[in-house]
A and B are shown apart, each in its own frame.
Chain A
Amino acid sequence: MNAKTRIVVIGATSAIAEHCCRLWVERGPVDLTLVARDATRTERIATDLRVRGPASTVTVMTADFVDAKDIARVAKATTDAGAVDIVLIAHGAMPKQELCADIDFCRETLEINAVSPALFAEAFAGHFATANHGTIAIIGSVAGDRGRKVNYTYGASKGLIERYAQGLDHRFAGSGVSVVLLKPGPTDTPMAAEHKAKGRKLASAEQVARTIVQGIDRRKFVVYAPPLWQLIMLIVRHLPRFIFNRLSL
């Protein structure tokens, strides 16, 4: 048996995922598999993690995130190599809403933010069900809580993830498999350059990662990061439509 916790990170070049990995390797030896599209960038992150946690094992795997066969291959290859304790599905892209007026681009956005993470979750769910072990952690977003004009293509994708995670959580209730849905608010990452340009104060990727890692430890189903967003989104979700539609949230 392998004593190190085995973690597979899908979309390892995302700033939040990278900070989660830092927290994991810094608190003890883990066996990490970083899955991403760009080998050079991922290798650079792997090198950093190896310096931070010399006792950890860090391997890199590249994949085509919108190819169902490749998604199945990643899930099979990583679980065949030994029991996976956690899969963190973290990839995504938040384009300006205007760009989604190009229908082809809109499709790509939906594929990468909604279809791809759902397929990864489904692929790992199959292996975890057989093993009756593992945590499926998926990064959703507060944007998935209610459709808004500023980012509804992205928000709808994250909404799909929420329903998918809910279904999985229902499926695995009472089993050895757990599902964690993480909902960060706007975070200080390259993806959020828009928010920064407006001078908004954003949570740091490190701060969000800390909440996520803790949420995964506790196997809570829904984790808002920072936790204050739970309250904010409770209000946003419940605003009556006639008020909501007059606001430019």
Chain B
Amino acid sequence: MRPVSSWGRLSAAPHDVVELADRERIGDALAAHQPGVAYGMGRSYGDECLNPNGVLWNTAGLDRLISFDPATGRLVCEAGVVLRDIQRLMIPRGWSLPVVPGTQIVTVGGAIANDVHGKNHHGAGTFGDHVHTLRLVRTDGTVMGCGPDHQPDWFAATVGGLGLTGVIAQAELQLRPSPGPWLEAETVPYTGLDAFFRLSDEAPADWEHTVSWIDCTSGADVRGLFLRANPTALSPGRPWRSRARAMPVVPPISLVNGLTLRSLNRAYYALGTRHPGKRLVHYEPFLYPLDGIQHWNRLYGPKGFYQYQCVVPPGPGPQAVRDMLESIQRAGEGSVLAVLKTFGDRPPPGLLSFVAPGITLALDFQNRPGALRLFERLDAIVRQAGGRIYPAKDARMPREMFEAGYPRLGEFLPFRDPGISSAMSRRLMGS
């Protein structure tokens, strides 16, 4: 038994960690140690990858590439391969992952099980849209392949399936041609949600990646930075060097707190407006800004933090976002990392995929009672608008909220593996 935390660091309960390292013998390991749940890089924020006092199947050792066809861009790899390694290996060879989330320190298995999205959702869809096939190992020893064209029902259940349909052992991914590691990026400061929606409406045609950072202390008349970028074959003529830093210790209290929140947001805004106009940016700091500070989750101190990420549909969405921002400002809670983005209309491939047409808002909150009270108000706004919360980020949504947000849950449940159980599955599905 050893203590294991997820990214939010809300708990560090002991787990019986079983290392999966041999892809041909996963079934034996699952049969011998269950019930459990697969654990990759531990980047989900809440309890999705946790099973306190129970078994975790660690997939970090399943990190081998199996084949790559440079004619078609198809990559077959084990599920524990980290997206960063694929990007660093393949971009110099002219290929990249079509969809990447805001951190590249996640495994392929985790990216599928959460059907993650990126800043290019409007054009590229979700991670699951680029999976040709995957291999699922069930706790009864069954090994099955599935994909959009083969056992599509199993595929739809497994993509975004929170790791509950079996352990994803390997996958065949479609990469896409990449002109190089640089992006032509532009930062547009704006004030007010109307300006945000105008920028979002214009962007899809011209920009591959779009996302907006907002100052969560500025309320409904929000101040933000709209970030947009396109891949480019241009290069600044100098090699890029990662200047990754690390948060070396867990401070005794959260460094993001009521005293620092406003000034941190101002400072971030000021930094962002320093470079107006277009400029060349390496894909790593643009797509994964937080990976530049290892262990940044320690900033929130020993009690950890929550992330609240929801999506609300386009009709009631703008008003819902306004209401949420007002509530957050009134509560005086929030973080330096508040993100607003519009999703495209493409329906996601999984029964429980988070992405839906509309607007998504994501914010971190230090773990204290005020934040939990605020979440209840935000939940009410999201439910009223017909939205949903992202399980990968969640540690606390009520079961009714999950059931209301994911109407296809009933279709999903028959595909669950009875030998798989996580703290989240018990909280949201009762087992």
Range of interface residues on chain B? 10 to 19
Q: State whether B3 touches A199 (Cβ < 8 A).
A: yes
CB contact between A51 and one of B1, B2, B3, B66 (< 8 Å): that residue:
B66
B64 pairs with A47, CB closer than 8 A: yes
Stretch at the interface among B15-23, B318-326, B328-336, B381-389: B15-23
Contact A51 B19, beta carbon cutoff 8 Å = no
Residues of B within 8 A of A193 (CB): 19
Which residues A22-79 have CB closer than 8 A to chain B?
26, 40-41, 44-45, 47-48, 51-52, 54
Do A44 and B61 contact each other (CB < 8 Å), given the known contacts A190-B19, A199-B3? no
Q: Is the Cβ of B65 less than 8 Å from the Cβ of A48?
A: yes
Whether B64 contacts A45 by the Cβ 8 Å rule is yes
If A41-B22, A193-B19 touch, does A48 touch B3 (CB 8 Å cutoff)? no
Instruction: Pick 21 A–B contacts, CB within 8 A, sort by A.
Output: A40-B24, A41-B22, A44-B23, A44-B64, A45-B64, A47-B66, A47-B67, A48-B64, A48-B65, A48-B66, A51-B66, A51-B67, A51-B75, A52-B89, A190-B19, A190-B21, A190-B61, A196-B2, A197-B1, A198-B2, A199-B3
List, in ascending order, chain A residues with CB within 8 A of B66's CB. 47-48, 51
Chain A residues with CB under 8 A of B64:
44-45, 47-48
Whether the Cβ atoms of A52 and B2 lie closer than 8 Å is no
Residues of chain A at the chain B interface (Cβ within 8 Å): 15, 26, 40-41, 44-45, 47-48, 51-52, 54, 190, 193, 196-199
Interface SS of chain A: helix
Binding site for A on B (CB under 8 A): 1-3, 17, 19, 21-24, 61, 64-68, 70, 75, 89
List, in ascending order, chain A residues with CB within 8 A of B89's CB. 26, 52
- A40, A44, A197: which contacts B2 (Cβ < 8 A)? A197
Whole-angstrom distance between the Cβ of A24 and the nearest chain B Cβ: 14
**Closest residue of chain B to A40, judged by CB?**
B24
B223 → chain A closest CB, angstroms? 40
Give chain A residues whose Cβ lies under 8 Å from the Cβ of B21: 190
In the bound complex, CA of A125 to CA of B19 (Å): 37
Nearest-neighbour CB distance to chain A for B77, whole angstroms, equals 8
Q: Which residues of B contact A15 (CB under 8 A)?
A: 61
